[in-house]
A and B are shown apart, each in its own frame.
Chain A
Amino acid sequence: MRLSRRGLLRAGLAGTAATALGGLASGCAVPTGSTGRNMVLWYWDGGLGETVVRQARTRFDNAVDLRAVKIGGYYRSKLITTLAGRAHIPDIAGLKGEDMASYLPDADQFVDLRTLGADRLKSGYLPWKWQAGIAEDGRMVGFPIDCGPVAHYYQYAVFRKAGLPYEPADVSAELNTWEKFFTAGEQLKKRLPGTYLLTDITSVFEMSVNQGTERFVDRDRHFIGDGEHVRAAWDRAVEAKRRRIVSNLVSGTPDQWSAVEDGTLPSQLNASWATNDIKNGVPRTKGRWRVAGCPGGPSNIGGSFLSITRACREPERAFEIITWVLGAANQAQGFVDAGLFPSTPASYGMRKLREPDPFFGGQITMDVFGPAARRIPVAYASPYDMALGQPVKDEIKSVGVLGKNPGQAWKDAMSKCRRIAQHLGVSV
């Protein structure tokens, strides 16, 4: 699984974020949005490149007073509170990728970016990412910020010692399917006893689902989590367990960190932004890592959007700001500032992004991430995916961690999903 003491930390920071609920509508005698020359932009720390935000402020200074506000705590809850409360709404709001599907049904809270001429910029952005900001009726809510293409991180020397392919190009070419990846895991374990390919099986399941074009609920609000695509991902994760190529460690614990450091967990499937986590988490492994393509094809984790709320009094101006901030040159700067992987392919060739990285033995990692980002499949994300995907993820975790019988776990997952689907009004 993903390396993430950082996740633990983030949980700690968000720990006491007791959050909001409720909301009254209609008839407030308070300013709904900003006043005067103010143009208020909400984002979160690391959500946009700081250099870019600073430059935007001076660049548009003669037109508006751009106030970029970092929101701490649980971002979505604060945004929903103000939107539902119809008071103090920002003009421009960042929307996190994982929340996007849940904003789309309420597209009328935002300005349709097509009306501002978004379509003419479409060709400069990754098509699948562009699509993810558009509601079912075609209204465009979110303008692409970044994305998180997944790659295979591995330790060069360990793979070499185990007799596996070890040059990035070879690893990409020879471990390109899950079957070959698992076989490599078996060989790894045989040649170097006590060494495992992955921390646990959850990542196998999630990456597999992400590699497909369907998730848990389709456009017709129909549950498809019992379909072949999910079942295949499930079986693949169970297979990883059966072939004993996963460790019994818990990610984020010292056990896992030490295993990564001493090379007994030499590989992980993770998004581009995990680069920072690895560099910070196990700095002594500098130079040992390489990245290659993910077995089974590219997929994506994370990435966000900017939107213009309906309360905005100057949508044209706001749109001008957004498109400038998220143009290819500034997205490249965002990558430098905050590790935001650009959604603008034109950035990938820029020199800033093509620095050889000594942590990865001088590899230019963009050669792996860039092509992966272009090939990510378009999948429909339903607002009900979270609710109906969770039971399946929970059960596969029980199989992996608690050793639950896979057949029983699948049955439990499906009956739970059916119950929740019925409750949420999703047909089964």
Chain B
Amino acid sequence: MATALEKPPATAERSAAARPRTGLRRHWHLYAAISPFYLLFLAFGLVPVGFSLYLSLHRWDGLGPMEWAGLTQYRYLLTDIDFWSSIGNTIVIWALATFPMIFLAMVTAVLLNSAVRFKNVYRFAYFLPNVTSVVAVAIIFGSVFSTNFGLVNALLQAVGLDQVAWLNTPWGIKVAIATLMTWQWTGYNAIIFLAGLQTIPGELYEAARIDGAGPVQTFFRITLPLMRPMLLFVLVVSTVTGLQSFSEPQVLLQNTANESTYSGGPGHAGRTMVLYFFQQTFDNNDFGYGAAVAWGIFLVVVIFSIINWRLVQRRGE
């Protein structure tokens, strides 16, 4: 990633790679250094993963005996329109939330990184959405998007637009959920970018200034290229967590005492993949199919992450 720097002739990485024959023994300390994670996975992660694979080949109500089902759960998964529509919902909500979020986070980080006063205050405030009680969040966003008294509709009317029944239309529901997610995670990502901005040496900005570059040029010529690893991180993490989201639609849409928590609102417009997993597992008592759904989710997440990784990662890296 040292593109903007003068590249040293032999990097540490290359010098090590130059001697491929040296093998495992020579690198034992490197393996030892990365081993804790893999050991913990072997000890505590492998059994659950293996078990859920096994489970997905069975029918099970959670308590009674398991019944062998072969691949029928997966066969059903492929033709289950409800699962496919939940994939669609998830991706739409994810896209509606993620791109504005990354943009806003980047802007916030750059603004905060410039010499601004009261930096501590802002930083603190932007952290709050991440820790605010989900109960308060549920009520406030329910209010913000309500039809007659909601803040959003008040704003729309102020600029001469019509009211929208946000929580009563499929698109409105998705937009509302995405807004909630953006609100909650922008500050978090801004902090990531802020940490990344600290790795950019001040001299580079100095040099650019001397060359007469304006702030916008500086951003695109220096900041953005050097922030690429951070951007990759944010995008991949947003993909993995965003595609597995479920609490936001739950919080926003489950509002009647007797209704399933996992329905995702009218027309299932807000039913994400993980909500669908919960519904199959706990409402329908279909633990076997739930496991198959979970593996379906895994596959979607992997595919999407690879696509995003490719998009950001430069060729040959």
Taking Cβ atoms with an 8 Å cutoff, the residues of A that contact B are: 1-2, 4-16, 18-19, 21-24, 74, 76-77, 80, 83-84, 102-103, 105-106, 109, 202, 206, 248-255, 258, 274, 301-302, 383-384, 386-387, 390, 393-394, 397-398, 401-402, 404, 416, 420, 423-425
Asked whether A424 and B284 contact (CB < 8 A) given A12-B139, A23-B62, the answer is yes
Asked whether A14 and B261 contact (CB < 8 A) given A22-B52, A402-B170, the answer is yes
Most buried by A among B150, B267, B290: B267
A-B contact pairs, 22 of them (CB 8 A): A2-B258, A4-B257, A7-B254, A9-B138, A9-B139, A11-B250, A11-B261, A15-B250, A18-B246, A19-B281, A19-B282, A21-B52, A24-B47, A77-B282, A80-B62, A206-B258, A253-B167, A255-B148, A384-B284, A387-B285, A401-B267, A402-B266
Contact yes or no, A105 B142, CB < 8 A: no
Within 8 Å by CB of B134, from A16, A80, A390, lies A16
Contact yes or no, B63 A16, CB < 8 A: no
Minimum Cβ distance to chain B for residue A220 (Å): 18
Asked whether A12 and B283 contact (CB < 8 A) given A22-B48, A423-B289, the answer is no
Contact yes or no, B283 A424, CB < 8 A: no
7 nearest CB pairs, A to B: A252-B255, A12-B138, A253-B146, A11-B254, A106-B63, A387-B284, A12-B135
Asked whether A253 and B250 contact (CB < 8 A) given A7-B256, A383-B285, A390-B283, the answer is no
Which chain B residues border A103 with CB–CB below 8 Å?
63
Question: Does B294 interact with chain A (Cβ within 8 Å)?
Answer: yes
Interface string of B276-317 (1 = CB under 8 A from A): 001101111111011100100000000000000000000000
B165: nearest chain-A partner, CB-CB: A248
Contact yes or no, A250 B147, CB < 8 A: yes
Contact yes or no, A401 B256, CB < 8 A: no
B149: nearest chain-A partner, CB-CB: A254
Taking Cβ atoms with an 8 Å cutoff, the residues of B that contact A are: 47-48, 51-52, 55, 59, 61-64, 76, 82, 133-139, 142-143, 145-150, 165, 167-170, 246-247, 250-251, 253-261, 263, 266-268, 278-279, 281-287, 289-291, 294
Minimum Cβ distance to chain A for residue B234 (Å): 22
Which chain B residues border A14 with CB–CB below 8 Å?
250, 261
What number of A-B contacts does a CB cutoff of 8 Å give?
178
In the bound complex, CA of A397 to CA of B253 (Å): 13
Most buried by B among A255, A384, A424: A255
A11-B251, A249-B147 are known; give 12 further A-B pairs, CB within 8 A. A7-B254, A7-B255, A12-B139, A22-B51, A102-B285, A106-B63, A249-B148, A250-B167, A302-B258, A387-B285, A387-B286, A423-B289
Which chain B residues border A106 with CB–CB below 8 Å?
61, 63-64
In the bound complex, CA of A5 to CA of B140 (Å): 11
Asked whether A423 and B76 contact (CB < 8 A) given A7-B254, A24-B51, A387-B284, the answer is yes
Contact yes or no, A21 B134, CB < 8 A: no
A76: nearest chain-B partner, CB-CB: B282
B59: nearest chain-A partner, CB-CB: A425
Which chain A residues border B52 with CB–CB below 8 Å?
21-22
In the bound complex, CA of A420 to CA of B135 (Å): 34
In the bound complex, CA of A23 to CA of B52 (Å): 9
Minimum Cβ distance to chain B for residue A205 (Å): 12
Minimum Cβ distance to chain B for residue A100 (Å): 12
Which chain B residues border A248 with CB–CB below 8 Å?
147, 165, 168
A98: nearest chain-B partner, CB-CB: B258
Within 8 Å by CB of A102, from B61, B143, B170, B250, lies B61
Which chain B residues border A397 with CB–CB below 8 Å?
266-267
Which chain A residues border B290 with CB–CB below 8 Å?
21
Contact yes or no, B284 A22, CB < 8 A: no
B290: nearest chain-A partner, CB-CB: A21
Contact yes or no, B146 A21, CB < 8 A: no
A5: nearest chain-B partner, CB-CB: B139
Within 8 Å by CB of A253, from B82, B133, B147, B289, lies B147
Asked whether A7 and B143 contact (CB < 8 A) given A21-B291, A402-B169, the answer is no
Asked whether A251 and B256 contact (CB < 8 A) given A19-B278, A401-B168, the answer is yes
Asked whether A251 and B255 contact (CB < 8 A) given A12-B135, A387-B285, the answer is yes
Most buried by B among A22, A80, A106: A22
B82: nearest chain-A partner, CB-CB: A416
Within 8 Å by CB of B55, from A11, A22, A423, lies A22
Minimum Cβ distance to chain A for residue B39 (Å): 21
Minimum Cβ distance to chain B for residue A108 (Å): 8
Most buried by A among B61, B170, B246: B61
B167: nearest chain-A partner, CB-CB: A250
Contact yes or no, B261 A21, CB < 8 A: no
Asked whether A255 and B254 contact (CB < 8 A) given A11-B138, A387-B284, A394-B268, the answer is no
Contact yes or no, B283 A386, CB < 8 A: yes
Which chain B residues border A16 with CB–CB below 8 Å?
134, 247
Which chain B residues border A12 with CB–CB below 8 Å?
133-139, 251
Which chain B residues border A386 with CB–CB below 8 Å?
260, 283-285
Contact yes or no, A11 B255, CB < 8 A: yes
